Structure 1
């Protein structure tokens, strides 16, 4: 009986070999049709990497054909001889069905690219609300739909012939053992290995899920080529990723809708359209401090406010940061909202000057060549600063290799590129202290010209496997409070300490060399492990404030708390205008969608949360809580949402410029 299963499994493997081959052929056709340079001459490594990575990434879907055949054909065929006899026919039928799905996805991509010059993206979802007769008309009359439908016949005939040829190859015989116990053990091993083989295929030739191929891990040599980077992704993979995303309602709006929504954030009497950012033009009142020669914008991974709060201060997790924040010329705001709830929209919002609102501007090819007048580096370049972007990970993450130059940065550096080969790293990037040390070394070697450095660290992120004790962490500060050294909480809190130490060491080193520097320090979002430890708090759940507030501080030898107009609340989008108002000469014009912290704020609104002097609320679940720092509990306000019209308007503003790329500034005009 089991020999029938093994014979059937071999047939499954044969059949499974064809889909990756078909995907490779589709990839080649796509490249030859749409890529300007058709030949791999001089680019063999790039082409081979594209096909190799695409092969393994495609296994995330293709491997399921093998699993389906194993479970639906080979396994029952081992128990029912009659079904085993027709197993190859069933296999061929299932394969032909899957091959038809692959071909349909491929044709769809070819048509989509011809219209939008991009592979599948959220625009595809808009087709649900499009005029179906219009789509049919385009398909048949513009894309030769009748010929495409007829092409299924020769394609499936070829697949049928190829499948039959593979199934006709003789299988290997399954050996039998005289020892019955040994035979059962061998059978069990073969069955388990058949399942393990599926996971090995699905995870891209590894059994470690974290090593599984993903868009962020596409090799730089391929991803830096915009077209080949897109071609690496199989069509079903692209659709799978697209299914996880939804098109925001603002992407379906008309310009008339926009004109009706934007007045919630624009009080100007000037016409809102066609370029609404014109209503956000500002004029600097004059420098508050002596413009520094160097500005350091430090964005730290998961650098939340909660670790600085009074209930957790005794843990000493932020001892370095707390000393920095306590200095006379460091100004802090303890109630500070991030521009995004995860890294990419947070980073994108800070740099682009508008809320990303999960529209993924960094992954939009339009924003790889164009940008907005609110872009942070673009404005600083006008003030005479050379702008540099430093990231602890690879610049292929989040398509930064394309997005960052388009914003106006003069240079961009990834940790793995600037640090010594073999430098220890997490799966996100080089260890913070090594990365920052190399950044500091390179900055000190630069010419003495006014410069702006945006520096983004990565280490404070799960699974928190750094050797913290080797870097000076005293385990007793947690173990004495009952936190086990082998626990995730221990590693996460130790990592927060490590990241804070590395960040502040870099600040101290730069201040020693450049004492007139301006430092901006904040976190990309709230994350990591939280210091909810018995005896430290009276609760096991985070307050809403602790879930949402990232950290924020600014330092300059002439800066004082008076300069911030007594503000106790703020958000990421207030940083850009604050910086400009601190250093720009009187009359300097710039764009900002939010007010600077040098003016009094009565509330802050992001696409995710709202904040007043008294309370904080989250739109996702319509909850709110008092803005109180406490070790105890606080009552929840349920079904509560304020400033929703402003929230909608900020999202609408970003979506409007995505819908109107002709209004963006071209990279070559920066």
Structure 2
């Protein structure tokens, strides 16, 4: 996997990563040694328990080897060692996930390889343990000296193991301070698989406690004041209330919000045009009645983040809203469906997959959607994967369901651009050779990458054809197209943050003009519905949102990043490690910090405690 290492990472940096990783892995080695020590002590009491030691060693070796084998495809998919996605997977459709592992990652074959390898390793290990080792003059030492030497040895090894290769926490390495290089791949390689899983667990616990954020009621109120420039008197309803400035276009009869699986922005960047995998959306963008912004961040690193934000209007505050009792009781103040119903629209949610995924049916209906459609409502002969029907069947069903006599608002979530990538691309017209010739020499024979790019092409083609079809028959429609998340695959193995994390936002329809959004606009998915409402609602129409219409917004944030029209950075370092893709202009650090904290704190409080900011609710 050397191609994932940055080109400017020299041997000294690689050695630093290996050395730091070895220190950190002393913690893991210490824990595994303790596991084996139990079996060795048991064997010391009775030789008949030798089998117990062999079983323990097999289990330790099996888990370790299995994780090692699994880390390669995991990194290729998520550009990370094991992370919180393993906990997200627990909420997925178990059957669909299992089938995906079989089809995409050849699970049975790899399990067989792991078992064979572990059998060999276990045999060698136990032969090593059974061998009688003679130490020079050890037996001649007095027992008290042997005990002293043994205790000193145990103390030294235990201390180094406990503190990650140091004599105290100040000199040791742990997962939080292991990222000491400027190379993402090397930083991830420092963590062994057990440490990576522990990191995921620690972050998950923080997530369940709202990412470790310790906002008090007063903090939430102060941040809400700074965000909205209002005195809401400890009531989020007062802070989040907005008034539309007046319709910018004639009220459309039909509104479609397409949240497209893994549709990243980078294929729309000019330098990738020769791939021709985003030609259809490029064609839409070129229309006079279309506006497009690339200064857009998704709410989360997976589809569930986009789902929660597009339904509730709240930023990602690490609340798992789809299963929270509060979210299933009644719509939130900022929920999109009830507010669109106030504008006279019948609301529906379309999902290409099963209705049970992420509790999506119960969640969307509880949040105010009138109707919900899923895989069971599509053509029973539709092709697809375990995650859902192919896009063409989803869009076809939606088009047939359009009621000319009603004003409709539809949110659409597709699945085709997702592993196991099993669409027959050739039958759909995909020209593999065009893509191959546009790839760098090192990737021309990478069939997996070409297949992934082919599925992006398919999602682009189906979305483009649906938009064209709708605009031809229902010219007064408004269509909003946005990627649910990026960060899945790139041509560049070490992409910039801009190419890796941004998603496109495309708004097309009658009355839309190129100058609708200022050039310095920026935002995230929390800003989409406020933009739609302000675009079509009459003057003084009251609505509620955490986000701001993009006509007036110049800053966006996500689960871990922020963006402006010129720069992008992570929310931990704020402006310290920003990357520029436009002019070298940065927002004031204090303003950025307040914005990020405010949208998270407000979304967290609203999601968990409701509109009234009362410190007694925290007790």
TM-score (norm 2): 0.64
1:259 to 214, 218, 221: 221
Deviations 1:78-110 (A, max 9, x none): x9995337979x99xx9xxxxxxxxxxxxxxxx
Deviations 1:3-49 (A, max 9, x none): xxxxxxxxxxxxxxxxxxxxxxxxxxxxxxxxxxxxxxxxxxxxxxx
Q: Distance in 2 between matches of 1:448 and 1:549?
A: 37
CA contact (8 A) 1:283 1:587 kept: yes
CA contact (8 A) 2:315 2:546 kept: no
Distance 1:509-1:76 versus aligned 2 partners, 3 A rule:
farther
Is 1:545 aligned with 2:528? no
CA contact (8 A) 1:607 1:647 kept: no
CA contact (8 A) 2:379 2:393 kept: no
**What secondary structure sits across from 1:332 in the alignment?**
strand
CA contact (8 A) 1:76 1:83 kept: no
Q: Which residue of 1 aligns with 2:292?
A: 332
Distance 1:241-1:400 versus aligned 2 partners, 3 A rule:
farther
Distance 1:527-1:434 versus aligned 2 partners, 3 A rule:
farther
User: Deviation of residue 379 (structure 1)?
Assistant: 0.4
Distance 1:80-1:620 versus aligned 2 partners, 3 A rule:
same
Deviations 1:598-651 (A, max 9, x none): 33x33334442222333221124552111249xxxxx999xx896112211111
Q: Distance in 2 between matches of 1:558 and 1:636?
A: 32
Q: Distance in 1 between matches of 2:482 and 2:585?
A: 27
User: Deviation of residue 430 (structure 1)?
Assistant: 1.4
Distance 1:471-1:81 versus aligned 2 partners, 3 A rule:
farther
2:436 to 479, 488, 503: 479
CA contact (8 A) 1:605 1:647 kept: yes
Distance 1:589-1:491 versus aligned 2 partners, 3 A rule:
same
Q: Which residue of 2 aligns with 1:426?
A: 385
CA contact (8 A) 1:73 1:84 kept: no
Q: Distance in 2 between matches of 1:270 and 1:527?
A: 38
Q: Which residue of 1 aligns with 2:457?
A: 497
Distance 1:477-1:644 versus aligned 2 partners, 3 A rule:
same
Distance 1:404-1:662 versus aligned 2 partners, 3 A rule:
same
Q: Distance in 1 between matches of 2:608 and 2:284?
A: 43
Q: Distance in 2 between matches of 1:382 and 1:285?
A: 16
Q: Which residue of 1 aligns with 2:471?
A: 511
The worse-fitting range, judged by mean Cα deviation, of 507-516 and 604-613 is 604-613
Deviations 1:341-360 (A, max 9, x none): 32212221122111022222
Q: Which residue of 1 aligns with 2:175?
A: none
Q: Which residue of 2 aligns with 1:121?
A: none
Q: Distance in 1 between matches of 2:610 and 2:213?
A: 13
CA contact (8 A) 2:471 2:509 kept: no
User: Deviation of residue 72 (structure 1)?
Assistant: 9.7
User: Deviation of residue 488 (structure 1)?
Assistant: 2.1
Is 1:289 aligned with 2:289? no
Q: Distance in 2 between matches of 1:585 and 1:647?
A: 30
Q: Distance in 2 between matches of 1:645 and 1:401?
A: 35
Deviations 1:258-298 (A, max 9, x none): 23433331311342x1x223222111222111111110111
Is 1:650 aligned with 2:599? yes
Distance 1:658-1:568 versus aligned 2 partners, 3 A rule:
closer
**What secondary structure sits across from 1:470 in the alignment?**
helix
1:604 to 556, 560, 564: 556
Q: Which residue of 1 aligns with 2:514?
A: 561
User: Deviation of residue 578 (structure 1)?
Assistant: 1.5
Pairs within 5 Å for 1:432-447: 432-441=391-400, 443-444=401-402, 446=403
**What secondary structure sits across from 1:616 in the alignment?**
strand
Distance 1:616-1:422 versus aligned 2 partners, 3 A rule:
same
* Larger Rg computed on CA atoms: 1
CA contact (8 A) 1:390 1:455 kept: yes
Q: Distance in 2 between matches of 1:545 and 1:453?
A: 29
Q: Distance in 1 between matches of 2:384 and 2:205?
A: 30
Is 1:464 aligned with 2:413? no
Is 1:414 aligned with 2:378? no
The worse-fitting range, judged by mean Cα deviation, of 502-511 and 421-430 is 421-430
CA contact (8 A) 2:236 2:612 kept: no
Instruction: Mark the runs of 5 or more structure 1 residues left unpaired by the alignment.
Output: 1-69, 95-190, 204-209, 221-239, 533-539, 630-634, 665-670
**What secondary structure sits across from 1:371 in the alignment?**
coil
Q: Which residue of 1 aligns with 2:539?
A: 586
Higher RCO (C-alpha under 8 Å, 6+ residues apart): 2
User: Deviation of residue 329 (structure 1)?
Assistant: 0.3
Q: Which residue of 2 aligns with 1:217?
A: 93
The worse-fitting range, judged by mean Cα deviation, of 586-595 and 614-623 is 614-623
Q: Which residue of 1 aligns with 2:210?
A: 248
Is 1:454 aligned with 2:411? yes
**What secondary structure sits across from 1:387 in the alignment?**
strand
TM-score (norm 1): 0.60
Q: Distance in 2 between matches of 1:252 and 1:311?
A: 43
CA contact (8 A) 1:618 1:641 kept: no
CA contact (8 A) 2:317 2:601 kept: no
Q: Which residue of 2 aligns with 1:614?
A: 566
Pairs within 5 Å for 1:364-403: 364-403=324-363
Instruction: Mark the runs of 5 or more structure 2 residues left unpaired by the alignment.
Output: 1-34, 71-85, 97-199, 614-619
Q: Which residue of 2 aligns with 1:83?
A: 47
Task: Give the paired residue count.
Answer: 449
Q: Distance in 2 between matches of 1:269 and 1:243?
A: 34
User: Deviation of residue 250 (structure 1)?
Assistant: 6.7
**What secondary structure sits across from 2:92 in the alignment?**
helix
Pairs within 5 Å for 1:621-640: 622=574, 623-628=577-582
Deviations 1:353-386 (A, max 9, x none): 1102222222212101122221111100001100
Deviations 1:401-453 (A, max 9, x none): 221012110011112x1223453222322111222222222x24x46210011
User: Deviation of residue 73 (structure 1)?
Assistant: 11
Q: Distance in 2 between matches of 1:476 and 1:662?
A: 56
